[in-house]
Amino acid sequence: MTDHAVLILRLAAPLQSWGGPSRYNRRETRPQPTKSGVLGLLAAAEGRAREASITDLLDLRLGVRVDQPGSLLRDYHTFSDHRGVPLPSAKVNAKGVQTKTSPAKYTGVTQRFYLQDAVFVAALRGPAPLLERLEHAVRHPAYPLSLGRRSCPPTGPVSLGLHADAELPDALTAVPWQASAHRRSQVQATEVTLEATVEDLAGDQLAVDVPDTYDLKTGTLFGRRTVRHLWVTLPTGRQAAQPADRESPPANPGHDPFALLGW
């Protein structure tokens, strides 16, 4: 039986976008990294062509911890053809050629959504030889890495190393809190509780984010996987506040309404 291991990734950036079912000119993001997005990052790190097989990656089990949820950003902008010609429509003619808009439309609107200032920890469990190769590739990527979209490069090293085999909840609990210094300064308690999602055959929810290919010619069809949501409690590194020494209060002399008048 092949030995297993766990690869830990830190997914942090000013902007991230983990595509959901949206298409066309409105592209939304899910609140956590998707399996399709994480496997795409690994495939890019290895330098795989888009039409290359990803069968060996699909069996990796994914767990994600939300160390810093960030906030939602909507990017609204217009676009046009630099040649000054009408934009194409969604229709094609009998020859399969995309037709122009009628009446002519020269400016379009697109809206894209991002997570800003978010930090996630992803744990991938699978065969140790495969994860060793992937960990090396993440540290020496063949293609630039991105968090969901090419416009979202990661901040700092992505790999937190290869760890001994463990169940995904245990692996996510063992990794120190990865939030930014600003976020950490806002939490005064000695512990913090974080949301997590792990791939689990006995899970009670479905995630439709398992890709069959990244080939642009055929497009990607997404399969299902069962997941389970849980909460992970981690130390923040802060010491418990010590009670301050207090002097004994002075004896109550009683209420004297004339004392301030010097009577």
- Please indicate, yes or no, if residue 253 is contained in any of the structural domains: no
Q: Which residues of 211-225 are buried (b: 16+ CB within 10 A; e: fewer)?
A: bebbeeeeeeebeeb
**What pTM does this model have?**
0.83
How far does CA 244 lie from the centroid of its chain? 41
Instruction: Tally the C-alpha atoms within 13 A of residue 242's C-alpha that lie toward its C-beta.
Output: 3
Q: Between the CA atoms of 250, 256, 260 and 261, what dihedral angle is there, to the nearest 10 degrees?
A: -150
Q: How far is CA 10 from the centre of its chain?
A: 9
Q: Which tokens in the block code for residue 3?
A: 């030995």
| pLDDT computed for residue 249 by the predictor | 62
Residue 30 placed within a domain:
yes
pLDDT score recorded for residue 128: 97
Residue 182, domain member (yes or no): yes
Residue 127 located in a structural domain: yes
Contact 180, 67 (CB under 8 A): no
Domain assignment of residue 46, yes or no: yes
Is 122 domain-assigned?
Answer: yes
Ordered mean pLDDT values, 10 residues apiece, the chain (263 residues): 89 92 79 96 96 95 97 90 86 81 87 95 98 97 95 95 97 97 93 97 93 89 95 91 65 67 65
Range of the domain at 126: 4-72+116-238
- In angstroms, what is the C-alpha Rg of the chain? 26
The answer to whether the CB of 205 falls within 8 A of the CB of 228 is yes
pLDDT for the residue numbered 87: 87
- List pLDDT tens digits, range 187-219: 999 999 999 999 999 999 999 999 999 998 888
What is the model's pLDDT at position 78? 87
The pLDDT, as a whole number, for residue 103 is: 87
Give the per-residue pLDDT at 92.
79
Which DSSP letter does residue 6 get? Answer: E
Per the structure, the count of domains in the chain is 1
* CATH number of the domain to which 24 belongs: 3.30.70.2660
* pLDDT value of residue 67: 98
Q: Is residue 166 part of a domain?
A: yes
d(CA 236, CA 10): 17
**248 within a domain of the structure (yes/no):** no
